[in-house]
Homo-oligomer: A and B are copies of this chain.
Amino acid sequence: MALNRKIRMGMVGGGRGAFIGAVHRMAAALDGKIELVAGAFSADAKKSKLSGEDLFLDSSRVYESYQQMAEQEAALAEDKRIDFVSIVARNDLHFEVAKTFLEAGFNVICEKPLAYSLAQGKELKAIVEKTGRVFGLTHNYTGYPMVKEAKAMVAAGTLGKILKIVAEYPQGYAITALKDEEDGAISNWRMDPNVSGVSNCIGDIGSHAENLGRYITGLEIDELAAELSTFIPGRPLDDDGNMLIRYKSGAKGVLYASQISTGDENNLNIRIYGTEASLEWHQEHPNELILKFAEQPRQIHRRGNVYNGEVCGANTRLPFGHPEAFIEAFANVYLGVAEAMADQIQGKYPRAEGYDFPTVADGVQGMAFIEAAVQSSQNNAAWTKLDL
């Protein structure tokens, strides 16, 4: 990324106390290539102001609303105004915030899910295409070096023809709500259909599992049969979901996600089985990739080694044995988008060979997946195609 300055970032959402906003800021800061210069951190203007102070921002660039921010930043000199906005507000705001900034001429990095609904997602995709702006979606698990290595192995044919994908994403945090419904913020807005959309569990984490499988293998889901459940009484959305998948290639899949899997933390795992070899990756031990052949010793590929492929290596900061983790993977998504933005600034966007970060198209795919899962479940797990 041969740019002679840092890329300037603004943020919408992520005020005091918000988890994911802080992650985005650390990811952006890590490599010294991006600087946070502006923000509308909360719908509450006072909270936005205080958050800006926490972050040592120039108070003139801490805004009372995202609309104000888009307008005033657009009015700044080109060498001062933000290059992109990072959207870490709640799901129901993604669409309108992204639209506002795209149409004001800014690039966007947006938290997933892409939007409140598939319809919104499709509309947003059209806006991205019309405006020609760079749009990155933080399906952050694709940022892990060993996930990129897995993708490279599949692309190189190491696994042969893919027969089966098993993706699982059990979490257990919601179970404590059974005892203390006051446990608060995290569980609650995700459980509000007006904020989250049609799904909580599949929308929030099932979509990561879907994206991860697609990122690594490139396989497209043809149809799925899903059973969503709500185990915490009184909640309007799913907190657990299991499904069978048929891929267009003929491969089969099992995917499940859960927030009531007591004692599981962020236990995203994927196993991909091919005719020649299979692989496993476990998010909680992200520096290893397990490769299994039928009649050879099991192989543990570890980050930072000379035998890692080029893309894996390029997304690695530390030598072997010095573990990297969640924030570094997140930062890789930011770096990937920054690469495209640097090209844009230098008039070289888009590159012919493309980029390696999740896009608005991935977001639309994710929304279609979520809505198909909900629809299937409402139809007694009937096979349901993705509306793409």
Contacts and interface: CB of A to CB of B under 8 A. Distances in A.
Interface of A: 4-6, 19, 22-23, 25-26, 29-32, 36, 53, 55-56, 159, 163-164, 166, 168, 170-173, 175-176, 178, 225, 227, 229, 231, 240, 242-244, 246, 252-254, 256, 258, 260-267, 271, 273-278, 283-287, 291-302, 304-307, 317-328, 380-381, 383
B302 A172 contact: no
Contact of A297 (B55, B231, B271, B301): B301
Closest 6 pairs (CB-CB, A-B): A263-B292, A265-B321, A266-B321, A325-B325, A323-B325, A298-B300
Specify which of A4, A242, A243 lies most central, judged by the most chain B CB atoms within 10 Å of its CB. Answer: A242
13 contacts: A26-B31, A26-B317, A166-B168, A171-B321, A178-B275, A225-B244, A263-B298, A264-B278, A264-B292, A283-B321, A297-B305, A297-B307, A298-B299
Contact of A256 (B31, B172, B254, B324): B254
A323 B326 contact: yes
Nearest to A327: B328
B297 A278 contact: no
Contacts of A252: 227, 229, 240, 242
A36 B243 CA distance: 48
A208 B126 CA distance: 51
Nearest to A293: B263
B296 A275 contact: no
Nearest to A253: B242
Contacts of A19: 319
A251 to B, nearest CB: 9
Contacts of A291: 263, 297
Contact of A172 (B53, B292, B318, B324): B292
Contacts of A260: 163-164, 273
A227 B253 CA distance: 10
B29 A32 contact: yes
A231 B267 CA distance: 29
Contacts of A286: 323
B275 A262 contact: yes
A244 B227 contact: yes
Contacts of A36: 32
B326 A294 contact: no
B30 A294 contact: no
B322 A324 contact: no
Contacts of A5: 56
Contacts of A275: 175, 178, 262
Contacts of A287: 284
Given A26-B30, A225-B227, A266-B322, 5 more contacts: A242-B252, A260-B273, A267-B321, A297-B307, A322-B325
A225 to B, nearest CB: 5
Contacts of A262: 159, 273-278, 292-294
